[in-house]
Structure 1
Amino acid sequence: MSTVYDCTDPQTRSAGLSAAVGAVRSGRLVVLPTDTLYGIGCDAFDADAVASLLAAKGRGRDMPVPVLVGSWHTIDGLVLSVPLPARELTRAFWPGGLSLVVQQAPSLAWDLGDTDGTVMLRMPMHPVAIELLREVGPMAVSSANVSGQPPATTVEDARRQLDDAVSVYLDGGPSAAATASTIVDVTGPVPRILREGAITAEQIGEVLDVPVAELRGADA
């Protein structure tokens, strides 16, 4: 049986965060609000929990789970090295709607799916998400919907699709942006935008001083 906690109320927010921390630490799934869309998440270092997350979404290992972090500095322990474009983008857009694909540190004992040695990282701009992440550490988090169905912009959307596969639902109200994050791959010599979303290509190009056409992989 899952439980929904209204995190817009200070008393139930505290109880909800406590329940979510306990769920994550015991290998169960939680739904949490972010600044883009609602996410379904678990301990990034618990392979069984990540497998449960993929199963709840009806998703295979060929679509590995991104990781959310609660601070700028967490990225240093998760990647092989932080390229300069990644530093510039995190300074400009974290916390916020930007996900970065980077080379993960080879020593990490996690299994997020078939990642080919990369990991997608984001620091969300939502107080409930940040508080949870700072308590439990990096979380594997994907959009809170069944694969192929519309992403959840409210906790009710998420619960209709995921039901009792999730132990704790944290209700932070409707998603502020209701738009997926922008994904930028910084593993190569030139950053590439894999998906345009909450952060525009023009904003990224301005920070990196790179033509938008080049970021999109088109001929400049």
Structure 2
Amino acid sequence: MQFDSNHSNQFGDLENQKETLDMAVENLRNGKLIAYPTDTLYGLGCDAFNEIAVQEIFEVKQRPLGMPLPLIIGNYDQINLVTESITTTIEKLIESFWPGPLTLIVPSGPKVPAIVGSRGWKVGVRIPDHPIPRYLSSMLGNPIVGTSANISGMSETKTVNEVVNQIGNKVEMIIKSNHKPKGMSSTILDITGSQPRILRNGYITANQIEEIFNETVIMDI
């Protein structure tokens, strides 16, 4: 799948953080957990293809097994690591909303561990509009887990201090950034069925999505 070069995997001005970010990538390779900023909230991440590290994510968040974890990719080529089902609809949504706060539920590819996805056959993925997670995933060469950096049921985190207060002693490192999160979750859109369904309201509205589909989007919340 090829995209216009305007959708490039640019990382912005991260030169002053390169040493920290490369250390974070090494931690990810070694199966460690890190907290990092995104365009929406602070994320809790690991190498999405490391099942032991993914299991630890569930433990840190006190999240029941069986609840899916969204993934973050760093560039458009990496979508092929997550799914083999690239439809025209997916391409339109990607071109319209990525990088950005729209998580697409797509059929899982064979490399995605069953523990990550929903019922083992579908998974959420997005490219965030933030250079740090894009850099981490691109340099790692794999998707990273993109769940919120909080304990399940507690408030989502938007600052380093909020992350420290909830899970600071459970992660290898917390990355700071001048690009502050918006403080609103990504919209989750399931496109695995016959009609698109919004599973979580977020920054991207139903009206914006309906303009792409030219049909009503089902609110399944």
TM-score (norm 1): 0.88
Query: Which residue is 1:175 aligned to?
Result: 180
The alignment status of 1:102 with 2:99, answered yes or no, reads no
Cα offsets for 1:65-101 (capped at 9, x unmatched):
1110011221123213122222111110000000000
The alignment status of 1:187 with 2:206, answered yes or no, reads no
Q: How many residues align?
A: 207
The alignment status of 1:120 with 2:121, answered yes or no, reads no
Unaligned runs of 5+ in 1: 1-7
* Structure 2 Cα separation of the partners of residues 9 and 27 of structure 1: 24
Q: Aligned in 2, Cα 1:189/1:49: closer, same or farther, shift over 3 Å?
A: same
Q: Aligned in 2, Cα 1:159/1:173: closer, same or farther, shift over 3 Å?
A: farther
- SS state at 1:21 partner: helix
Query: Which residue is 2:150 aligned to?
Result: 145
Matched ranges for 1:152-163 at <5 A: 152-163=157-168
- Aligned residues of 2:69 and 2:117 also touching (Cα < 8 A): no
* Structure 2 Cα separation of the partners of residues 162 and 66 of structure 1: 19
Structure 1 residues 149-158 or 79-88, which shifts more? 79-88
Matched ranges for 1:1-220 at <5 A: 10-11=15-16, 13-105=17-109, 107-108=110-111, 110-113=113-116, 115-116=118-119, 117-136=121-140, 137-173=142-178, 175-211=180-216, 214-216=217-219
* Structure 2 Cα separation of the partners of residues 170 and 217 of structure 1: 34
Partner amino acid, structure 2, of 1:134: S
Q: Aligned in 2, Cα 1:210/1:80: closer, same or farther, shift over 3 Å?
A: same
Q: How many Å apart are 1:164 and its aligned residue?
A: 1.8
Q: How many percent of aligned residue pairs carry the same amino acid?
A: 34
Structure 1 residues 19-28 or 69-78, which shifts more? 69-78
- SS state at 2:46 partner: strand
- Aligned residues of 1:47 and 1:111 also touching (Cα < 8 A): no
* Structure 1 Cα separation of the partners of residues 153 and 20 of structure 2: 29
TM-score (norm 2): 0.87
- Aligned residues of 2:48 and 2:116 also touching (Cα < 8 A): no
